[in-house]
A and B are shown apart, each in its own frame.
Chain A
Amino acid sequence: MRRLPVLQSVQSAPRAIVQAAHNVTKPNRDGSPWYARVFRLTTTRILTQAFCFSLFIFLLWVTWFSRLGGYPASLFLELDPLVSFATAVSTHTVYRWLWRSLWILVPTLVLGRVFCGWICPYGTLHQFIGWVFNIRRNKDNIGVNAYRPIFQFKYYLLVVFLILSAFGALQIGLLDPICLLTRSVATAIQPAFDSALPDVLAGISARPGAPHPRVFAGAWFIGFLLIGLVGMNLVIPRFFCRVLCPLGAFLGTLSRFALLRIDRDLTKCTDCNLCMRHCEGASDPQEALRKSECFVCFNCIDDCPEDALAFRLAPVPVHERIIGSLKDGTARLFGRKVISKLPETVLAPPDVPRRRWVFAGIAGLLAFPFLRFSKSVNARSYSAKAIRPPGTVSEPEFLERCIKCDQCINVCPTNVLQPSTLTEGGLEGLWTPVMDFRTGFCQLNCTLCSEVCPTGAIQKIDLARKLGKEAHVEAGPIRLGTAFFNRGRCLPWAMETPCVVCEEVCPTSPKAIGTYQQEITRWDGKKVLLNQPYMRPELCIGCGICEHECPVQDDPAVYVTAIGESRSKDRSLLLGSEVKRT
């Protein structure tokens, strides 16, 4: 009798399981145990990357009033060695938590660019997107991971950025991957995430309890830049990391001293080039390894069919120890036959010709005057709308410190902090925080931006300092600017209509806005009691809540400009305003 096929498969199921288990636990051909197949270094790397990426996103997610509770919200920025090095160059100091970058610096000096391959969340994003959308054939994968001279470009950028830092114009934040990703998530991804979130998931919203969806100046540009840079992975894998990343260039330069590297065994390597298939850094493991480009991802070791690659201490190249001729196949190394036709195994320093370092240097020297003598950031003609958050150091010092990471903008509860566009800050101030009082206002009892700033561009202040209380009575409150009335647009002044919301919301005590009361007879004969507001500038702290609440919404009748800000004596308004207020 024929057995039913279903029955047959049920009976054979246990056997299949046993067989599968047997297959999984079978030792490797080289005799290594089965788990060497699963618990590989590359698996560890992928798990580490997933962890670091999740941690990065988590820390940005907790960067919010109701969630901050001792989390090191700006940890990744503090770990970033370029941030601490460039700010040390520009300020000659290492602010607060920036010493944490030693945790990256030291492993880099020993192992090379492990940060790029294992930790950097932006690198992980690039690697993941490149992997998911990779439709190339194997042959093309090998070709696309070959080193190209354009990969030198990041070193020129680094030179320009470091020279600018030395002059006090910190620009690394434009392209530093941690700054760039923090900024992109804060100003572009976060609003998109929150708007896509269904009501039932409101609890995991990035900005729970925010009264309005958050808006950011130039979010479209920051967002499209993110898509564009990530999208470049479809053309050249890790395009950003290989071509643009100034942090990668910095770590690459340091890597030349690294003790460990991928070492190619010339007596095993058949020059098959399969190691290039998944090479993240395009570091040429198939010939002379470009240590400065290597992300230490270990894919090449996984891919090598001859087991010719290993990550090990290899300080001295071996090609001088080869005896015999490579051409006629008589070459031998330490008694074994050399199979590879490419005797060079390492190229440590970045592949940048000396004259080009010089060119980059000249470009950097010129870049500073180009930036600083642009009107918007120059002390002689600064923008009235470049209003900086409370605790910000004076403008030249600020430009030495701000890395445009926009963590302050991320944490700001009222959305008043905006990434500067070219209008307020020029290119030098691009994406630095400025206050836009039509979007929000500086909440009196809030100092969150000063808590999260990793570089001290906004110095950590407490509430007493901000409000000029307790030990700071002498210094007075921090003033962000001064409010002005535009009587031509003010309802009580120009339109015989009662209003004075500005006076109502003015948070100082006594209020900086007072009113003249007068009864007038309107055009229609109606008697109206008007409170016409005026400003007491010595009391105004420039918080901008008057501007924000002014019903003449599109071009408020009361508005704050930067003049009178207390962070800089050059920008004071009233005679003797540094003297203690009565």
Chain B
Amino acid sequence: MSNERRRARQAEPEPSAQELEQQRDHQRIERRALLKGALGLGGAVAAAGWASLAPPSWPLSLRDPDGERGKPKASVRSLPDGGFRVPDAPSVAELGVAHGTQLKPMLLAALDALGGIGRFIERGDVVVIKPNVAFERPAALGATTNPEVLTALIEIVREAGASEIRVADNPIESPSSCFVRSGIQAATQAAGARLFLPTPEEFALLGTPGATWIERWPFFWGPFVGANKVIGVSPIKDHNLCRASMTTKNWYGLLGGRRNQFHQDIHGIIADLALMLRPTFVVLDATRVLFRSGPTGGSLGDVKPGHTVVVSRDSLAADAYGWDNLLERQGEALPAYFAKSAARQLGQPDWRKLSLKEVNVG
């Protein structure tokens, strides 16, 4: 420092007492700000340390020492024990078959053979009806459930006192188009039932204890929330792989996920489906029979009239009856899924051993 500057500096007056007091004030404020900052910073570091270092069982800990905690955990739903079946009633038939052209009287007659709709549906029930809407086809091609059968069924269920009726399926082709083209959407809406489209948020993991392939599998859960009765109504179709797609295979349309793998064991998965869903009853809609080029069909030449509906609590019996009498494959061995399902006590493929009541309507 040069002499001149030093001199100039010495010449400066000392700060006044007031100025010094102001300086001390400022320092106090600085001290407080520093303490606050340091406390905040320390708190943040401590919180970060707690979250990352505290053992996983401690509150607010995020520690994940082996990577297991970070994995998503899906909750697994389950359907009621014993499914949606109603109690046995030995005095009535197990298999109701009605032939004719007037669908509602036919359905009523077939149900009467089983003890009447009142045995199955009570006042206030929430009922899920599962048609087969797998493909975007007009109903006449026989690849989907006949919408008129669905309408009649909804009316019958409503008249029996059901408080809510839901219709749901997860088609292979674009769902909204399938529901419209097949006529199922119009039938559902006209009959005042509620349609469920298989949007992603409607699916949940379903547990099916004892199943081979679908012990835990994405399931069309939305329509089943609060439901206490389930009815399947399926067309009767030839099937390229499992030979016949009827009321048991129909439950396939409740599955989500990578279901195209199931063809590697088609009979195994159908037996799983029979285990997964034990319905209140099933309706085999044989007003049309898709006897070849199934399950898609596509030509009126693949369809013949069946003029029949079959109702049963036992989907295997209904399907076996359809195999013999409607697909007219009597004498050919039943597809393997019948035996596999029967081995699990899920039904009686030998329908002749069951009591059957057959009626002609109109």
A→B interface (CB under 8 Å) = 65-66, 199, 202, 208-213, 413-414, 441, 443-446, 491, 497-501, 503-511, 515, 531, 545, 549-551, 553
Contacts and interface: CB of A to CB of B under 8 A. Distances in A.
A190 to B, nearest CB: 15
B136 A444 contact: yes
B175 A211 contact: yes
Contacts of B265: 498
B177 A443 contact: yes
Interface string B119-160: 000000000000000011110000000000000000000000
| 8 tightest A-B CB contacts, nearest first | A509-B298, A509-B299, A209-B197, A209-B176, A413-B174, A551-B260, A503-B240, A509-B293
Interface of B: 135-138, 170, 172-177, 180-181, 197-201, 239-241, 258, 260-261, 263-266, 293, 295-299, 301-302
A507 B302 CA distance: 12
A1 B181 CA distance: 82
B200 A500 contact: no
B263 A511 contact: no
B298 A413 contact: no
B241 A503 contact: yes
Contact of A504 (B174, B239, B301): B239
Nearest to B242: A504
A507 B241 contact: no
A501 B172 CA distance: 11
A504 B296 contact: yes
Contacts of B298: 444, 507-509
Contacts of A208: 176, 197, 199
A551 B263 contact: yes
Contact of A506 (B177, B239, B266, B296): B296
B261 A504 contact: no
23 contacts: A65-B174, A65-B176, A209-B175, A210-B175, A211-B170, A211-B199, A212-B200, A413-B174, A443-B136, A444-B173, A445-B177, A446-B136, A497-B264, A498-B265, A500-B240, A504-B295, A505-B296, A507-B296, A509-B297, A510-B293, A511-B293, A515-B240, A545-B172
A524 to B, nearest CB: 15
Main secondary structure of the interface of A (DSSP, over half): loop
A577 to B, nearest CB: 20
Nearest to B179: A209
B313 to A, nearest CB: 28
Contacts of B296: 504-507, 509, 511
Contacts of B197: 208-209, 211
Residue from A497, A508, A551 with most neighbouring chain B CB atoms (10 Å)? A551
B199 A499 contact: no
B199 to A, nearest CB: 6
B263 A501 contact: yes
Contacts of A504: 239-241, 263, 295-296
A498 B264 contact: yes
Nearest to A529: B336
Contacts of B199: 202, 208-211
A550 to B, nearest CB: 7
Residue among B137, B174, B295, B298 with most chain A CB within 10 A: B174
B172 to A, nearest CB: 6
Contacts of A212: 200
B241 A498 contact: yes
Contacts of A503: 240-241
Nearest to A212: B200
Contact of A500 (B135, B176, B177, B263): B263
Contacts of B200: 211-213
Contacts of B241: 498, 500, 503-504, 531
Contacts of A446: 136, 174, 177
Given A443-B173, A499-B264, A507-B135, 12 more contacts: A65-B180, A210-B174, A210-B176, A211-B198, A443-B136, A498-B263, A498-B266, A508-B298, A545-B172, A545-B173, A551-B264, A553-B258
Given A499-B264, A501-B263, A551-B261, A445 B176 contact: no
Nearest to A553: B258
Contacts of A210: 174-176, 199
Contacts of A414: 173-174
Contacts of A551: 258, 260-261, 263-264
A551 B259 CA distance: 9
A22 to B, nearest CB: 51
B248 to A, nearest CB: 16
Residue of A505, A508, A515 with most partner-chain B CB within 10 A: A505
B348 to A, nearest CB: 26
Nearest to B199: A209
A441 to B, nearest CB: 8
A8 to B, nearest CB: 41
Nearest to A550: B260
B177 A65 contact: yes
A194 B175 CA distance: 17
Contacts of A211: 170, 174-175, 197-200
Contacts of B174: 65, 210-211, 413-414, 443, 446
Contacts of B201: 199, 202
B287 to A, nearest CB: 20
Nearest to A497: B264
Nearest to B198: A211
A451 B135 CA distance: 22
A446 B177 CA distance: 8
B239 A509 contact: no
B260 A501 contact: yes
A441 B297 CA distance: 18
A211 B136 CA distance: 14
A198 to B, nearest CB: 10
Nearest to B336: A529
A545 B172 CA distance: 10
B293 A445 contact: no
Nearest to A506: B296
B94 to A, nearest CB: 31
Contacts of A506: 296
A491 B176 CA distance: 31
Nearest to A533: B240
Which residue among A211, A446, A515 has the maximum number of chain B CB atoms within 10 Å of its CB?
Answer: A211
A445 B172 contact: no
A441 B171 CA distance: 14
Contacts of A491: 264
B226 to A, nearest CB: 16
Contacts of A501: 260, 263
Contacts of B301: 509
Nearest to A416: B174
Contacts of B260: 501, 549-551
Nearest to B134: A505
A417 to B, nearest CB: 12
Contacts of B177: 65, 413, 443, 445-446
B240 A445 contact: no
Contacts of B138: 445
A508 B240 CA distance: 13
B297 to A, nearest CB: 6
A529 to B, nearest CB: 10
Contacts of A507: 135, 296, 298
Given A65-B174, A504-B296, A511 B266 contact: no
A503 B263 CA distance: 11
A202 B174 CA distance: 17
A182 to B, nearest CB: 22
B168 to A, nearest CB: 12
Contacts of B135: 507
A387 to B, nearest CB: 18
Contact of B240 (A199, A511, A550): A511
Contacts of A505: 172, 296
A512 to B, nearest CB: 11
A445 B299 contact: no
Q: Please indicate which of the listed interface residues A491, A500, A504, A505 has the most CB atoms of chain B within 10 Å of its own CB.
A: A504
Contacts of A531: 240-241
